[in-house]
Structure 1
Amino acid sequence: VKMSAPIPALEMQKSGHPHLAAMYDKIQTSAANKLWHQATLALEELCKDACFSEEGNKDLIALYKEVVADQPSSASWTGFASKINPVKHASLCIRVSLQYGDSEEGIKSAIAFLEQVGTKLESDTEAYLLVRLEISRRFLQSGKIDVAKSKLEECKDVLVDFAEIDANVNSSFYLVSSLLHKTLGDAGEFYKSSLLYLAYTPLESLSEEKRQALAFDLGLAAICAEKIYQFGELLLHPILQSLKGTAGEWMVDLLHTFNKGDIAAFEKVSTENAAAIQQQPALIGNAQRLREKIRIFALLELLRDIPADSRTVSFTPIAERTKLPEDEVELLIMKSLSLGIVKGTMSGVDNTFLVTWVQPRVVDKEAIKKHLVKLSDWMEKVQRTSEFLANETPEIVA
């Protein structure tokens, strides 16, 4: 087979996309000279062009089937799919499959295409997982939640056996996992999966629109999730910067009020953004629970601020900090104890709470400054105690 002969499909697409002529030529030249890696890189670069994301464009499907896919040895062009790195091959096919669209028929065609590709890549676990995860996402997109969940679980069972795996696989797994939990309405699991997705996904690989949508959804999930009582990891993540200067910037402000347990600031942000909040059913439907949650955050902040040598707190300062009547403080502490975010002993007779442990959190610079003050105070006390012992019991110290 003369590999250097012009590939008709490439020539046809080149004429349709003259601005990509150099890229098409690079694919042709690299493949003709059996430089498979360079041909793959050229394909990856080509696929990034915006023209292939236009509605109705099917050029990548044609390119894969007529140029990349392996053909019989008798064909004038035999393709080079089997020469491509399996993980890159899987990623390329996933990009190609997006051109089938999101209609019911399009999703079916995409799944059928990916099933064929998956069969060829079965011997490479990472590549196979990438394809299976995309198939799971497509089933979820079509509303077949049980099928999507089943396929995701199958992938999870394979993943747990790997100590190290390509970051793209983990990224895909947590993306599909987050989409599944979002569909199921599980805010806590969506929050956890989304943060793990971001841990394996370069932020620059997401469009500005996707960053903003994910940042807002993460904020919403953090606030509404029943068992999440620290937002430090999200507040320190650069994805929240995408909401600055947008209509959703109030979400960042709201997150900060929760993280500080600042009820007055919470009321202020809620009032100033009442119209926007009314557009969020999750916030409106959980209004009462959110007020309880901000009070628990306020309790946690109060307990973190008390000195290490004075761990018994009266209900009175708790009532003042949480804006609750004193006779309701006991219920708030019981709720916090049941959530496992504080540990201690409560006295209903003395109206006190002896705290022994508070849930750790990711701290920002402001919290670090507080810890420095507390550490400085503790060092002074240690120094005074040491001097007292030296003066009063010199024979013991010596």
Structure 2
Amino acid sequence: MSPVVITAAALEHFESMATLHPDLSERYQNLADLYQRKLWHQLTMSTLDFVSDPSVTLRTTATGTNSYLVLFDRVISPVDKRLNQLALTRIASAVAFSLLDDPPYRDGVAARAILEGVLEKRDRLGPAAALHAESRLGLLSLTILARGGEALTTESSLRTLEEVKVTIDRNRPVLSELADTESEAAVVHSAFHETAMTYRKAVGPPEAYYREAIQYVSFTNLSDLSRDEWYHLATDICLAALTGEGVFNFGEIVTAPALRFLDGTDMHYLVELLSAGAKGDVLGFRRVADANADAIRMQPSLVSRAEAVKEKITLLALVNMIFERPSLERTLSFEDIADRVVVPVDQVEWVIMRALSLKLISGTMDQVDQTVDVHWVMPRVLNNAQISELATRFGEWAVKVSKTKDYMLEHTGALLNQ
């Protein structure tokens, strides 16, 4: 197709859409102006903003076709070599997902075809854009599977899940190489971890979902998702943190801005449970759990993992008890531990052994004297109060070091003068 024909088709689309949808005429006229002036970068970013804007209601052309699809086919695809390739894949992704949200034109096959068509040009895309396109294709497949209501035990659903898993495993090493080499790496990281997170939500386990979700949240702007989307994401992260095996660092999620979307909602008790766990407050955790017993019974993961959650909070109480002690005062009696973690004294030995086996602490236990000498406690994210306490301890340590130095200088001088 000649450049003249391509340009004519693009401008015709802009003009017809501006006429058909007057409230969007200014945006279409702006796109047409950028196209005519061959300002490809500006056209790319304006198109990306347009198709990604949640405030714009999805429209159709005069023939009833998805307008984003026609925009992509008539305007973007013919000049795709001149566009930023990562932005191109983001536009393609937005268009593909719009096909799933367009009731009169819902078409998962066409949606996949758009991203697969982009991926055919992998050599030109570069690693960042190719990884972004593959991630979005994987997420698209999972979304189609979820919206279709298909059981995850059918042959086609299992095949889809396996394809997504292969994509994730193949691209994870590529992702690490983009960290310092791509100015828009956060966009790629966000897309990759969203796909991995969605996959893990479908197949488990919760601790794997939690790890991917934490990464996704760290690379995603709050403005990129709606309040409802953040609400569901924050709920899932809280449940995964509480029930996930080996997830003990509650501080990294308790301090996350995403959890503010649960403020004042029916799920805020999950934040309270996590906060109590992060502080090692067993009694506080039980108070919140008792006050929200009915809501907790509505969460199958919390019900089925009740004993594991109880164990986790007990171990976190031990970890926090050790952290609060000065480094020279970390020989703990079984009785003190029993009081803090709220278990009978005859169960303290098991608690200590469990903490040692999970490498939450290291040390030696004296079963005769019923004490444990702790040499190390797991590092974790601290809240402001814990950081303040640590700063105070550093100050006290500095004073002790200074006094020791003065003592050594004084006695060294005295010995030299003898």
What number of residue pairs does the alignment pair up? 388
Q: For the aligned residues, what is the CA RMSD? A: 2.6
**Aligned pairs (5 A) from 1:16-55:** 16-47=20-51, 48=53, 50-53=55-58
Give the match for residue 211 of structure 1: 230
TM-score (norm 1): 0.89
Q: Is the 8 A contact 1:139 1:147 kept in 2?
A: no
Letter in 1 for 2:88: H
Moved more, 53-62 or 248-257: 53-62
Residue 295, structure 1, aligned to residue 299, structure 2: no
Distance 1:138 1:6 in 2: 27
Moved more, 5-14 or 304-313: 5-14
Residue 174, structure 1, aligned to residue 193, structure 2: yes
Distance 2:9 2:411 in 1: 98
Deviation at 1:229, TM superposition (A): 1.3
Letter in 2 for 1:136: G
Deviation at 1:344, TM superposition (A): 0.4
Q: Is the 8 A contact 2:59 2:66 kept in 1?
A: no
Distance 1:258 1:113 in 2: 46
Q: Is the 8 A contact 2:9 2:74 kept in 1?
A: no
Residue 310, structure 1, aligned to residue 329, structure 2: yes
**Aligned pairs (5 A) from 1:122-161:** 122-125=123-126, 126-141=128-143, 142=145, 143=157, 144-161=160-177
Give the match for residue 113 of structure 2: 112
Give the match for residue 343 of structure 2: 324
Q: 2:214 aligns with which of 191, 195, 219?
A: 195
Q: CA 1:34–1:334 in structure 2 vs 1: closer, same or farther (change >3 Å)?
A: same
Distance 2:46 2:409 in 1: 76
Distance 2:10 2:409 in 1: 92
Distance 2:409 2:131 in 1: 67
Find the residue that maps to 2:107 and give its secondary structure.
helix
**Aligned pairs (5 A) from 1:144-293:** 144-162=160-178, 163-165=180-182, 166-293=185-312
Q: CA 1:330–1:23 in structure 2 vs 1: closer, same or farther (change >3 Å)?
A: same
Distance 1:204 1:59 in 2: 24
Find the residue that maps to 1:50 and give its secondary structure.
coil
**Aligned pairs (5 A) from 1:5-16:** 7-16=11-20
Find the residue that maps to 1:345 and give its secondary structure.
strand
- Any stretches of 5+ residues in structure 2 without a counterpart? 146-156
Find the residue that maps to 1:343 and give its secondary structure.
strand
Distance 2:317 2:310 in 1: 11
**Aligned pairs (5 A) from 1:44-123:** 44-47=48-51, 48=53, 50-53=55-58, 58-70=66-78, 80-101=79-100, 106-123=107-124
Q: CA 1:397–1:350 in structure 2 vs 1: closer, same or farther (change >3 Å)?
A: farther
Distance 1:397 1:304 in 2: 42
**Structure 1 residues 321-367: Cα deviation after superposition (integer angstroms, max 9, x where no partner):** 11111111111111111111100011112111110000011111110
Distance 2:91 2:368 in 1: 68
Find the residue that maps to 2:123 and give its secondary structure.
coil
Letter in 1 for 2:181: E
Distance 1:62 1:6 in 2: 10
Residue 366, structure 1, aligned to residue 367, structure 2: no
Find the residue that maps to 2:124 and give its secondary structure.
coil
Q: Is the 8 A contact 1:27 1:42 kept in 2?
A: yes
Deviation at 1:51, TM superposition (A): 4.0
Distance 1:210 1:216 in 2: 10
Q: CA 1:201–1:6 in structure 2 vs 1: closer, same or farther (change >3 Å)?
A: closer
Deviation at 1:394, TM superposition (A): 6.2
Deviation at 1:184, TM superposition (A): 1.8
Deviation at 1:209, TM superposition (A): 1.4
Find the residue that maps to 1:226 and give its secondary structure.
coil
Distance 1:373 1:98 in 2: 52
Distance 1:256 1:84 in 2: 47
Distance 2:59 2:250 in 1: 38
Letter in 1 for 2:172: K
Distance 2:245 2:59 in 1: 40
Q: CA 1:62–1:353 in structure 2 vs 1: closer, same or farther (change >3 Å)?
A: same
Deviation at 1:97, TM superposition (A): 0.3
Identity of aligned residues (%): 29
Distance 1:291 1:153 in 2: 33
Deviation at 1:11, TM superposition (A): 2.5
Q: CA 1:5–1:183 in structure 2 vs 1: closer, same or farther (change >3 Å)?
A: closer
Q: CA 1:348–1:241 in structure 2 vs 1: closer, same or farther (change >3 Å)?
A: same
Deviation at 1:276, TM superposition (A): 1.6
Q: Is the 8 A contact 1:86 1:121 kept in 2?
A: no
Distance 2:416 2:286 in 1: 55
Q: CA 1:95–1:370 in structure 2 vs 1: closer, same or farther (change >3 Å)?
A: same
Deviation at 1:377, TM superposition (A): 4.1
Deviation at 1:247, TM superposition (A): 1.8
